[in-house]
Amino acid sequence: MHSLPQRKRIRTVPEGRQPESLTCILTLLGYQNVPYHLRGYADALGAGIEVQENDLILRTSWVKLSRDQRISGHTQAPSHFSPGAGADYYHLGTYKGLLVLPGQADCLPGLSTYPPYQFIGASLDEVMPVGSDLLSKIVRHSFHIGSCLLPWGQSRPAALSPFDKRAAVITATDVVKGIARMTGMDIMPVSGTIGETDTNLVAKAKAAIQAADDYPFVLLHINGADEASHRLSLAEKQSFLRKIDRVLIPRLTDSPHKFTIVSDHSTDPFTGLHDGVFQEAFTGNI
C-alpha cells in the first residue's frame, strides 16, 4: 500500500460526528450534512428488511458480560430471540441484528443509546437505552448470564440524493449495501465474500476490475480489518492487511484502472474503538 505513488490525507469524519462507517463512507463519497439518524435504516435496507416511514429502526449487538455485568466484547447471537410485543428482531449474522419498532419513529429526538464498541468496560446500567421504556424492557428481557442485546444506531427512513456517477458496489456488509440502495448504486454479488478476515479477496479484486470496465466508479468495500480490531486481535489485523498487500493491490495495479485505497475510519486493535478524523489515501495507476 505504502509503495503506491500518491498519498493524501483526507478528512472522513465531519465536524462534531463520530467515526462510524455510514457517515465516513458517505463523506468519502462527497455527501455533506449526512442525516444523524440513518444507521439502522441503512442496515435494514442493506439486509432487504422492509420498513415503513414511521418505524424506529435500531442496530443491535450481542455483547459479552463479565461477572460484575460489564461489557467485555461482542458475542455470537443466540439461535433464537423474540423481543416480545411491539418490536421485530432480525438476526444479521455473528453478533449483529436489527430491531424494528413499528410506528415509534417519533421517539427519536428523546432517545439515547450507547454503541457497545465505544463502551467496553462499562456496566450494563451505563449503556441502558434512555427515552424508550420498550427498548430498556427488550434489553432486560434479552439478558442471560454472560450476555445481552444492546440496541444503538437509532434511525428512521430518510432519502439521500443519488450518487453523481453510475456506480457499482462490491461488499458483503449490510450498511454498505444500504448506502448503495440509498444512493442508486448497483450491488455486484460476489460469492465467498463475508465481510470478515477470511473473505475471498481474489474474487473481490476480479469483480471490482470487471465492474470498472463497465462503470465510471466502483466502490470495493473490505471490512475484515475493522472486525479484527473489534476483537482486539492485532495479529489477525496485521495478517489481513498483509494479505490485502499481497492479493488485492497487485491485481489492481496490473489493471488499467486508476484506484484509491482509503479507510473510512480507524479502529484501534488495543481498545476495539473507532477513532481517527483524517485518513491516508493511496492512489495507484495515476
Q: Is residue 226 close enough to count as binding Zn ion by CB under 5 A?
A: yes
Size of the site for Zn ion (CB under 5 A): 1
Helix (H) or strand (E) holding 27: helix 21-28
Only one of the segments 76-84, 140-148, 226-234, 241-249 lies at the binding site for Zn ion (rule: CB under 5 A); that segment is 226-234
Contact region with Zn ion (CB under 5 A), list: 31-39, 171-179, 199-207, 221-229: 221-229
- Closest alpha carbon to 26 in 176, 147, 133, 132: 176
**Binding of Zn ion at residue 43 (CB under 5 A)?**
no
CB of 74 to Zn ion, least distance (A): 10
- Please, which residue, 47 or 167, has the CB nearer to Zn ion? 47
* Helix spans in 143-277 (H): 174-183, 201-214, 224-230, 234-243, 249-254
By the rule CB under 5 A, 264 interacts with Zn ion: no
C-beta of residue 181 within 8 angstroms of C-beta of residue 26 = no
CB closer to Zn ion, 129 vs 195: 195
- Whether residue 285 contacts residue 32, with contact meaning beta carbons closer than 8 Å, is answered with no
Q: Which residue is nearest to Zn ion (CB)?
A: 226
- List 65's β-bridge partners, or say none: 71
Rounded Cα–Cα distance for residues 105 and 219 (Å): 31
Binding segment for Zn ion (CB under 5 A), chosen from 51-59, 96-104, 189-197, 218-226, is: 218-226
Residues in contact with Zn ion by CB under 5 A are 226
